[in-house]
Amino acid sequence: MSGPLLGVTGIAVMLLMLFFLRIPAAFVMLLVGFVGFALATSPEAAFTMLGSEIWGSFSNYGLTVIPLFILVGEIVHYAGYNDGLYHATYRWFGHRRGGLAMTTILASAAFSAISGSNTATAATMSAVAIPAMRDYKYHPLLKAGSVAAGATLGVLIPPSIVLVVYGLYTGQSIGKLFFGNIIPSIILTLLILATVVFITRRHPDWGPAGPRSTWRERFRALPEALDILVLFGVIMYALFTGLVTATEAAAVASFLAVVISTLRGKLSWKKLQGAILATLRISCMVFMIVAGALIFAKFLTVTGLPSGIAEWISALELPSWVVLWVILGFYILGGCIMDALAFLLVSLPIFYPLAIQLGYDPIWFGQVITLVTTMGSIMPPVGICCYVVSGMSGIPLKTVFRSAFYYIPAYLLSIVILMVFPYWTVTVLSDMVK
């Protein structure tokens, strides 16, 4: 079998196993990558590659950033900051029409500024926001949609686990990726808010306004939000100056998170244990996917498939934006049928070299890809955020997916804005990082 053909067969076998066996995505990538590598080279080479690659990636200094960023998010989550953030935001926006939905989105955005996971954001926000919106007789379609769409900001707004993994995989600076992400995050958050305004304009009875808070109440609610801002500031400042590594920034933030939340009396020994346990499990999952993708990519590279595809596409002489939309189409489709992070890593060995060959900036491409995978997490049939919201709130899954659909244009519009103004949306900030 010729190299590229073996590569294509490998991808097909992997997809078949993924869909028809009950086997985790990480294991399939490892398995197919290992067997494929043995066929492409020799069994002896594959055995040695497996041991040394796994040890190499497990003991890679750069990858230690994964458990640490997850830990910051989990500590904040277990300390119950989501509650405080929600009430603080509510004091400022609750009196507007659809104000609770806006509160949900803004509080999710604030929570995401410290948590890199969308499911954690979806779970915590469902617990806080859904009962509040129920009390004010919000329509289920507005309730569920705002929580699900808000939660997707968890993977987008830095520190984002998807961007960390993208950076580690492609060798791009995590600091640059995080700073390049600031404007896209703001654009998407504003567009999601605009969607709420649009929905409540058309259906004023879906989100009735709440009582107005006094200025005194508003300012008294702020200190907890300030904690989050401090942690976010520390991480971003540290990465901006380049004085510390991403791992160190995350470690310092974890340490500060423990200190601050203990001083506020929010973190008990038991909660800290819970946060550590959750961190171990989640980072083990993420790490195995990364390791699987690395082995799978090794296999694809020896088959010569990625460079073959890149050559083939460039021979077609299509305009680069057409190719980009085709790539994005794959991501949307992939995001619909499998976990976003897993799909990202399965596909990067093929699409990343292609995007670079087309002349796209790797930092910018990372933002677009993250936006698309973010959108995948609210799309049927596997949109994970919708599952969490439905599971936590008891609102039927079908309703949650329908409610999330209102927000899809916001994502697509964000992507278009990023394509039209690549410099002003991404590069202008990412270039400032040393």
* Per CB under 8 A, 92 contacts other proteins: no
* Per CB under 8 A, 54 contacts other proteins: yes
* CA atoms of 293 and 299, how far apart (whole Å): 10
Alpha helices in 242-319 (DSSP H): 246-263, 269-303, 305-316
| 254-273 footprint of other proteins as x/- string (CB under 8 A) | xx-----------------x
- DSSP state for residue 209 in the 8-state scheme: -
**Region binding other proteins by CB under 8 A among candidate stretches 60-68, 121-129, 141-149, 411-419:** 60-68
Answer whether 330's CB lies under 8 Å from 347's CB.
yes
Structure tokens that stand for 120 in this block: 């954690």
* Per CB under 8 A, 382 contacts other proteins: yes
* Per CB under 8 A, 229 contacts other proteins: no
* Per CB under 8 A, 388 contacts other proteins: no
* Per CB under 8 A, 346 contacts other proteins: no
CA dihedral (411, 157, 73, 362) positive or negative: positive
Instruction: Using CB under 8 A, pick the residue from 337, 397, 413, 419 that binds other proteins.
Output: 337
Instruction: Using CB under 8 A, pick the residue from 233, 381, 396, 409 that binds other proteins.
Output: 381
Instruction: Using CB under 8 A, pick the residue from 31, 39, 197, 413 that binds other proteins.
Output: 31
Q: What angle do CA 132, 133, 138 make, to 5 degrees?
A: 160
Alpha helices in 98-173 (DSSP H): 99-112, 118-135, 140-156, 161-170
Instruction: Using CB under 8 A, pick the residue from 25, 79, 141, 418 that binds other proteins.
Output: 25
Instruction: Using CB under 8 A, pick the residue from 8, 127, 230, 252 that binds other proteins.
Output: 252
* Per CB under 8 A, 326 contacts other proteins: no
CA 217 to chain centre: 33
Give me the least distance between CB of 384 and other proteins, in Å please.
9
- DSSP state for residue 426 in the 8-state scheme: I
CA dihedral (375, 151, 233, 160) positive or negative: negative
Helix axes 99-112, 182-202, angle to 10 degrees: 170
* Per CB under 8 A, 155 contacts other proteins: no
* Per CB under 8 A, 318 contacts other proteins: no
* Per CB under 8 A, 244 contacts other proteins: yes
* CA atoms of 296 and 100, how far apart (whole Å): 45
* CA atoms of 229 and 154, how far apart (whole Å): 15
Interface positions with other proteins (CB under 8 A) = 18-27, 30-31, 34, 47-48, 50-52, 54-55, 58-61, 63-64, 67-68, 71, 243-244, 247-248, 251-252, 254-255, 273, 276-277, 279-281, 283-285, 287-289, 337-339, 341-342, 381-382
